[in-house]
Every structure is written in C-alpha cells, then in structure tokens.
Structure 1
Amino acid sequence: MIQASAVQHGMWLAAARVAPAAYHMPLVVTFARDPDTGLLAKSCAAVAERHGLLSSAIIERDGITYVVPAAFPAALRVAGPDESIAEEIARPFNLAEGPLIRFALFGRTLVVTAHHLVFDGQSKEVLLRDLAALYSGAIPEPLPTTAADDLAADAARLAERRGAAEEFWTGRWSEPPPLVVAGLELTGRDHGPGQVHPFTPPVPDLPGLTRFETLLAAVHATLAAYGNPRVTTGVDLSTRERGPAGVIGPYATELPVGSESGADLTELRRHLRELYPHRAVPLARAVRRIRPHAALAPVSVSYRRLGETPLFDGELVEVDWLAFAGGVRGDLQLQAVDDGTTVTASLRYSPAAAPVAERFAQDLCAHLTRTAVLAIWREVFNSPEIGPDDDLFDLGGDSLTATQIIARMRKHLGIDVDIDTFFDHPTVNGVVHATAAG
C-alpha cells in the first residue's frame, strides 16, 4: 500500500462526488482490418502489467488515500452487438477495486478508457506506442522505475518545492471571477454531464510564441472582447519535467493564468512561463484556503503536441485522441491536440454554457484568423508595427502586395480572397470581416 500523490488525492476528492465520467480519459483506435483478438488481448494485459498504476485501485484510510493493487487484472473484453462505444466510455469505475483502465473491442475498434487518477494526455501516446510494439512482436525496454518509485519521487518534489510555491502564490491567488461569454455569465467550476463541439481552430505560427501560447492568448482575447475586465482560465500543464517520457501516470496539473483586458501576447506569455517552476506543486497544496472544485475556473484550456502515430504490425490505425466521455469539468473545457500541421479541438460544455458554446468557438476562430492574417501582412511588409486597422495602400502597398497576401492566406489558412476585397476593405479587419461575411 503506497500513499497516493497530492494530485491523485485532490482528484479523488473531486471524483468521488458526482459525474465520474468527467475524469475518464478515452482513447479510440480503429484498425484497418479485423485485429487478431488473442494477440490484442495479450498485448493489453502486458501493457497494463508493464505500467503498474494501470493495475491499481485507490482506497482511503483515516482521510489518507493510498494506491493498492487492483482486485483483478485488466483484460480485453469483446463487446456485444447491442453495446455502444459511448456507454463503454461513460461506464463508471470502482475506484476502490480497480483496475483503473478498461479495454473493449467493438469490431475493428479498440476502446481504451482510463481514469485520470492514473493517466494523463501524454499517457495516451505512451500506451499506444507500447501496445503497438507488443502487438507487433517487439519487447519494449524495461522501465527504469516502478509506480512506487514515481510516487516517492513526486512526494520528494512536493516537499522540496512547496515553500517556493507558497511564496509565489502569496498575493497572486484570488478566486477566479465569473466570465461573461456572448452576454451569458458563466460561474460553473464543478463537473457534470456535458456535450461537445468539435472544430479546427486556425492557430498560426507566430515568431517567439508556441502554438499553445498563441491559442491561449486568443482564448483570453476572445473572452476580453466580451467585456470581461479580467480573465482567468485554468490551464493544464504537464509535470513531466524529470524522469523518462515513457511512463504512464497522472503527471499533469491545472494552474490559473490571468490577464487584464488589453494584455498583449508578450505579457500573457510571461505570466504563463512564471508558473512553470511551480507546476510540481498542486495549487491546493500551495494555497491553503481553496475550496475544492473540479475546475479552477469556468473556462479551461488543455493543449498537447502529438508525436508520430505508431504502426500496428506494419499497418496504420485511425486514432481519436479527443474522444469524449460525456462529462465536463467547468462550463467550457477546450481540449486541443497538434499533430505538427493541424490543431484539432474539442470544446466540452456544460448545460449552462450550451447557449453560447458554438458562438465562443466561432469567435475564437475569428480572432485566430485575424491574428494569422495580421502576421501575414507584417511578413509581406516586413514590418512588425502594422496594426489591424492600417490601410494597405497607405502603408505603400499595391495590387502586387495584395496578391502576395492572397497567396499566403490560401497556403497557410486555406482561405481564398478576391483581390477586389482589398480595394473595398484595405485593412486586416476589413479583409477578415468581408471573408467571414462571404
């Protein structure tokens, strides 16, 4: 029996209340042809045994949570003809019995559902890579540490850094205010049933910024445009700063990122990067007077850069990295994955946020498009000072300049603009508005 990590304890407190599916982390893998069920079953069992947390349960003794072996091993189950993938993903876990991962096969589709208590976003890639290696006959290198080693290292980091984190948050932490989205005030910070809106935000590559920073800044700018004087969002950050990347576990935390109305990209990036040295300490351990909630703020953002999808016995598989479990934490929960070319997003929303969720996604995309077009103008003119309302012709541009901008908009954004648009609306805001209206 090993004491659970601080992250696991906080999550266990929240997950023990209602809507447990909000903490389910599904991965849906579809094979090109019918898989070898026996071989797949052996591979699933082996990967669960390899990563000890997957074969565990969480119990409580005298107010302390512990990680213990599961009552039975994780095994592949072949689903019946009347079962649905959605029901499988949403089916509750028995946290005290475990195991905290399930494998179910629906024809050619493997549905892996893990609980967030033992899993994070990067764990999906680790699991898929190990599963593919085992299915293909390879034997992965032994892991250098055990689950007990990793939990002990987590406790040591917490003890080492807690004082600095407490000092950092002193005077910085305040309860996140409600956020207005398209005229509707959102206050939800707990979890419950929800819905999902998939979309593809046009996140541009900007000098000096990662795509994650650009997307987060766009979320803040979009919320500020609704009239919010201060915006605080919960942001998922990886805590995998030490140790091997090939370990499965809940190595993530949520920290608040705030901005004042009108804050620029540089300021928001500075605030974000100031958090990084303190991400190993859960906020509830650094700030004592925090009421437990499933989410730090009504709006949260999660972003992950994907690696290469592994082959299963030499064949490609289709992977749904953003499969939805039917529950949401907070009112708007934006999850995005980046394959190096395209950012794919999933906006999960509560019933309270249902009237404005799609509007928020549309406004976010419009802001990102405006940001991308402005970056193209600045690149073509070789001037970082150009603003969204500067006139193309007053800047010294002409029809050749317009055609260069058009070509880059088509290449990078997939947007076709008629050259007449630049004569009728010769500003970034004008072009973007005319394109959206058309």
Structure 2
Amino acid sequence: MEAIAAEEYSFDVEAFEAKPFEWGGYAEIKFEHIDLNSESAFYGLIFYNDPRSTIDRVTGSLQLDVGYRKGIAAFNGLLHVEAMQDNLGWSDTVDIYEANLSLKLQPFVTADLGKKTFKWGTGYAWNPVGFIDRPKDPNNPEEALEGYIAAGVDLIKSFNQPLQTIALTTVAIPVYEHVNEDFGESGHMNIAAKLYMLYRDTDIDLVLFTGNSRSLRYGVDFSRNLTSNFEIHGEYAYLPDLQKNHLAPSGKLESRELSVSRYLFGLRYLTENDITTIIEYYHNGAGFSSEELTAFYQLVEDADSHFNDTGSDNLIQNAKTVSSNGYSSPNLSRNYLYCKINQKDPFDILYLTPGLITIFNLDDQSYSISPDIQYTGFTNWELRLRYTFLNGGTFTEFAEKLNKNKLELRLRYHF
C-alpha cells in the first residue's frame, strides 16, 4: 500500500522548474472588409481624387516572444512582423517591440537596459498616466505595444504592516537621431519615475515625467478589489505646460500652451455566469471641443468643394497638414464612455465567447459599436469574427471617420 501511495502522489520536480530559455507567440491571418463613408471628412482628405466605396484587406502577422534567464540576468525579446495587401497596395513592417536585459543585482534591486514596454496605469482602454507608453487601441487594448529604448532601476521593499509593499521605478529615456525619434523632440534625455504602494490591499502609483522631449507631467492611479469579482480603478494626470495645436480662424495652425488634466475612472465586474463587464469614463483635457472639431470638418468640406470646382488641391493639402497635427488622432475629443461586455460559454456552449465593445463620445453623441464572437475549441487556435458600426450626426467624430463599418475575421495560432 505504501508503494502504491508513493507512486500515486509522486511528481517530477524538474517539470515545475523555470526553464532557462522559453519562447512562444502567434501566427495570424486577418481578413477585413471596409465600407467607406464617402460623406465623411477623412474620406475627402484621402480619396478626393480616387473615389471608391470599399476596401478589402488581408493581413498576415507573426509575433515571437523569447526569454532567457541565467543567474542574475534575464533577457526578454518581442518581435512583430506584419504584411498587408489591400486595394491600395502592399505594405510590410518588421518591428522589435522589446529587447531588454534585466539584472537582479540584489533581491530588492533590479536594473533594466534596452527596449521595453512599461504598461503604467490601471485603465483598460486608456492610460492617462502612461507617460512613457504608446497609446492603446481601445478596440484591442490587450494587444502588445512597441516599447521605447530606456535604462531603468527598480527598488522594492515589503513590510508586515498596512503599507505592505513599496517600490520605486526610475527610467531614463534618450531621444536622439535614430533613438526613440517618435517619442518627442530630439536631443534630450528624459526621466520618468513611478512610486508604487500596496496599502491595505489598494494598489497606488505616483508618477512623474520630466524632460524636454515632452512636457512636464504628474500622475496618480489606483486599483482595488472591493470583492473577489468587483474591481474599481482610476487615473489622474496633470500636464501644466502642454503645447497644443489648434485651428485658427484663418485656417492655419497655431500653437498655444495649456494646463490640462486627463483622468479616468472605471470598474470591472464578473457575474456568477461568467459575464465580464468593463466600464470606463475618460476625460482628455487636451482634446478638442465640439466647436473646434466642427471648424476642422468645415475646413475639409470647403477644401473638397474647392477641389471639385477648380481641380486644385492646394486647400486639401493644407487640410491634410492640419489633420496630421492632432486632428486625426484617435479619441481626439474630450469625454468618452467605454463599455466592454463578454460572456464565456453561454448556454453551456464550450469555448465560445460573444462580446460587445461600445465607445461613446459624450460631447457630440457619436459612437462606435463592435459586437464580436470568439471561438477557441481547437487546441492553440483562436477564431474571432467582429463587426464595427460607426454612427453620429454631421460633423461628429465617428460620423466623420473614413469608414462607416468594418467586418473582420481573424484566425490566430498560438505556439
């Protein structure tokens, strides 16, 4: 009996040990059918001399994640390769999202050097305090983002008291020719710091960014589980001297300095039958007012009319310049409400997850709605079908976007 019991409860210790080299990732193919909105401002900017009603696109991508650990050193790399073919032509990119060397110098001291995504902030769709991260796509916020080349140090200390953990992260981000050129103004070294505290089961971050590539920024965020299935979170950022471009009455761009706030409050709730709901309110003090956006859309409409009357695109080129200086940014307005709902295995249909994402512009009442359905019933395979519909009144954000709807089918193999 003892021999049988020993055999029954034995396990391989080596199977649970961390391997020095690990790798994974996915290969994906995505099909998209896009119905263009021929009445929108951005259609007029892009297709003013090449009218079309639809775009069909095929995109293939490969993402490879590697990690190697030995002693106090760890290397993490993330490579993203993408090729796209549509009615407009072919494009391809090869991007190193991360390539970072980490050294655990002491149990409480870690140093990092290389390209890294920091993922600061507690928000799901937006991160006002993500001062050194690229902005997320609210329709796909869980997708990996390209990082920046930086050097950083983490110090961490734990306590047996209400303040359970405290950690300080300090990051230096250079911006020079061929180094983080899209981060901001070149020729500067920038510093960001985050003080993390776990106090009475509440996660709190105090965040600071200073440097001449971007404006000075202060931030704070928090996250707390009120119950095992109910979490709340929030972020607040203050930018005291932000330079913002705006459209002057002359039709030209002007720059002005503003003190603005960005903040977010959200919740995540999981029901007993596996329905997950995420709701977030986001305020972007640096966004454009409805009046400012109306002026831009009117500028584009006038430029398009001028082209149709004269054949000259000089006003359209001016409108394109204005667009590329902030007016084509995603979520360029001031107040948004985000809601994502999905349910695992509805009606006991295993591996099926239907969902819905809605982004509502509270300033002009335009919106996008994206129902989708995901199936993972085959080992390592993921199939997702999504339809996105945009709507709103004249001269509103979602009504003036390039497409009025999009159908997307994605097949992804994880390895």
TM class by shorter chain equals under 0.3
The two structures have a TM-score, normalised by structure 2, of 0.21
More strand per residue: 2
More helix per residue: 1
Q: Which has the higher contact order (CA 8 A, sep 6+)?
A: 1
The two structures have a TM-score, normalised by structure 1, of 0.20
